[in-house]
Every structure is written in structure tokens, then in C-alpha cells.
Amino acid sequence: MDYYNQNSEKEKKDQIRKQVLDEINNKGNAGLNSNIQSFGPPKKKSSVSFDDELGSNRVQNNYDNFSNNNENQGEKGSIIPLIIGVLLISVAVLFFPKVSKYFEEKRNAAKKPVATEKKEEEKVYEKIKLDDEVVENAKYPIMHIDTSSKKTYYSLDKVTSSSFSNSDLLYNALSRIDDKNMSNYKGGYSSTFCGGNNKISIDSRFFKLRLEHMFTKKVTYKNSDFSVPVNNSGTKYYGTWKYDSKLDKYIYYGDCNANKSNILYYDINVPYEVDNSDKNIELYINNYVLFAIVNTANKTYTLYSDYNYTNKIDSGKLTTNSYSEELKNKVKNINKEELKKYKYTFSIVDCPYQDYCFVSGEWIK
């Protein structure tokens, strides 16, 4: 075959190859003219070239990279949701009991009936009256210690527990101690005993209790020896009482020189009016106070309105040996304008057992 014919044959083959390539390339771009809806710009397709080895390799590399990226993203995309799911399940397991308990308590609370709060009724304090038991049992201190003397604590404008001498405080306590609180004493005596058959002792605590019950817990005194006048209206155990610090007891010694008098002096107080403070914290008892001289030999008496025994208001003869009580009854027949008035104050503050204790006494001007 001649040379010309060989060239012509080669050109024909190249032309056929080009047509095939053009058809392949055109088919790859045919999608650009299709009616399929697209939600983004069309991607540029790779062209195939049998003449360009480098281009063929580039296409293959792009395909490989694309495949690898898709595989990696697929692996990551499948692991992350799994991790999140595990965390959510763990949190749910951890907090479920608490959340369940919370809603269970809410349901139970909703089922319970609502309790209505009870308002405590306010205590009603009735006004204290003159014939009430608390007035009749008021603990008046003994103001006149020695009835053979005119001396009395009424001579002071105002009296409190601190107005009394230590001996007179202990005497007031002794006057309120029962015999059942006394014990037989079998010990020795530091001086002559003149108490007859009354060998007795008293624990000092009973003095403390009686003093606090009469004068409040704030009363001040000291344990010491004291003496009770033979002429007194508070106790039969007159004479000397000595305090034994080792035993913490008061030992009765009696009076070796007892000499009773026939002329006695009495303070007579008669309640006539009562009042009280807010919530009955304090109790006020007003008394008529008189002063009497009694001759025990013939039972005659004379009443005075003053502690100096100068203003006489009544006299007569007594019919009983209860001089004080009988003299109180005499007040009923006396003109009240002639009588002096005295105010006693009692309080439950610092008083044991919420009773009323003596706070003060003073003349009403």
C-alpha cells in the first residue's frame, strides 16, 4: 500500500476515535439540559481523554479521595450519635430515682388534706377579787418581830426584803418551816442547851426555800446564828439557833433566860381592796393598818392609828386568846376615815412555783 493510502487510513481512525470521545463527553454533560430539579449549582463532570495520561490519573486520584472522605465521615457520623446516646442513658439512669422520688412526693402531698392551722386561744386573765384564795393566802412578812417592843418595820416609809436584818429574815423563814422538816439532833452543843425536849436541827436548805418563797429568788441573806425573841407570834422555838457549817444545819439551843412580858404590842392589818397588773403579773393588796397594846393579865386592849401609839381610836376587853384575829374584827366597827392605808405589792416574777412573793410595802399617802 502506498504512503498516501496509509495516511488516509490513519486519519480515518483518528476521526472515528474523536467522534467516540466526543460522544462520551457529550453524554456526560447531557444532564445539564435535563428537566430534573436541582437545589444547587451543577457539579462539573470530569472529561475522559485517551490522549492525556496525567488527566486520567488526576481523575482516578479525585475519585479515590472522594471515596476515602466519605468513608471517614461515615465512620465519624456513626460514632458521635452513639456516644451521645450512651451519655443520655447514663444521665437518665443516675437521676431517675431522684426525679421519680420528687414526683412521688408531689403526688402524695397532693393527696394529703391541707391541715388548718389552729390559732392558740389567748388566755383570759380575770380580775383578782378580795375574796379570792390567792389574796387570802398572800405571804405577808412578819413586820413586828418582838411583841414586847414597839419596834416595827411599819415605821419605814417603804419596806423590801433588803430592809430586814439577817436575823429577822431567818426568823421569817423559821416561822414558815413545819415540824415535819425538823430532825432529831443527837450531836453535841458548843454551849448550854436550854431547849427542853426540843433537841432538833433543820437543814439550811429549808431556810433557803422558805425565804425564796416569801421574798423571791433574789433575796440575799447568809447562814449565821440568829435569835428569836421569847415574845413573838411566829414560832414556839424561841431563843438561840446556831448554824453548823460542817453539817450545814441549824441547831436549836433555846433560851436560858426567857422572861415573857404581860404587855404586848401588835400590828393589825386588814385587807380592804385588791388590784392587779396586766396579765396578773403583780398583785396589789391595800390594807388598813392599826397598832394595838394588849395586857395579857386582864386581856384589855387599846387600838391606835399610828405606830407611835399616840392616836387612840378604840379600846376594850378581849374574850379569846387569839389576840390578833379578835382585834382584826374590831376594825369593822371603826370609822375607816381614822385608819391609815398601806399598800402591799406581790409578784410572780422570780417567785417559785408561779406563786406571789412579797416585793414591797409602803404607806398610801
Q: Where are the beta strands (DSSP E) in 198-260?
A: 200-203, 226-228, 239-244, 249-254
Domain assignment of residue 126, yes or no: no
- 358 vs 112 pLDDT, higher one: 358
Nearest Cα to Cα of residue 227 among 267, 206, 256, 205: 256
Domain count, the chain: 1
Domain assignment of residue 243, yes or no: yes
- Quote the CA–CA distance of 274 and 344 in Å, as a whole number: 10
- Quote the CA–CA distance of 219 and 166 in Å, as a whole number: 11
**Contacts of 209 by beta carbon, 8 Å cutoff, 6+ apart:** 352
Share of the chain above pLDDT 70, in %: 71
Share of the chain above pLDDT 90, in %: 64
Specify the residue for cell string 410572780. 348
Does residue 133 have a pLDDT over 60? yes
- 92 vs 332 pLDDT, higher one: 332
Q: Which three cell numbers stand for residue 273?
A: 381592796
**Contacts of 143 by beta carbon, 8 Å cutoff, 6+ apart:** 152, 153, 154, 159, 267, 361
By the 10 Å C-beta count (0-12 exposed, 13-18 middle, 19+ buried), 115 is classed as exposed
What is the structure's pLDDT at 251? 98
What is the structure's pLDDT at 82? 75
Domain assignment of residue 145, yes or no: yes
Domain assignment of residue 350, yes or no: yes
Tell me, rounded to whole angstroms, the distance of Cα 10 from its chain centroid: 121
Domain assignment of residue 5, yes or no: no
Q: Is the distance from CB of 134 to CB of 283 less than 8 angstroms?
A: yes
Domain assignment of residue 99, yes or no: no
pLDDT band at 54 (very low <50, low <70, confident <90, very high): very low
Q: Is the distance from CB of 199 to CB of 193 less than 8 angstroms?
A: yes
- 193 vs 46 pLDDT, higher one: 193
Domain assignment of residue 87, yes or no: no
Domain assignment of residue 79, yes or no: no
First-to-final CA distance of the chain: 170
289 secondary structure, DSSP code: E
What is the residue range of 164's domain?
A: 133-363
Nearest Cα to Cα of residue 203 among 229, 178, 237, 221: 178
Q: What is the mean pLDDT of the chain?
A: 83
**Contacts of 301 by beta carbon, 8 Å cutoff, 6+ apart:** 292, 293, 294, 295, 315, 316, 317, 318, 323, 327, 330
How big, in percent rounded to 5, are the helix, strand and coil portions of the chain?
A: 40, 20, 40
pTM of the full predicted structure? 0.68
pLDDT in tens, 176-190: 999 999 999 999 999
pLDDT in tens, 192-243: 999 999 999 999 999 999 999 999 999 999 999 999 999 999 999 999 999 9
Give the dihedral of Cα atoms 298, 303, 309, 312; nearest 10 deg: -110
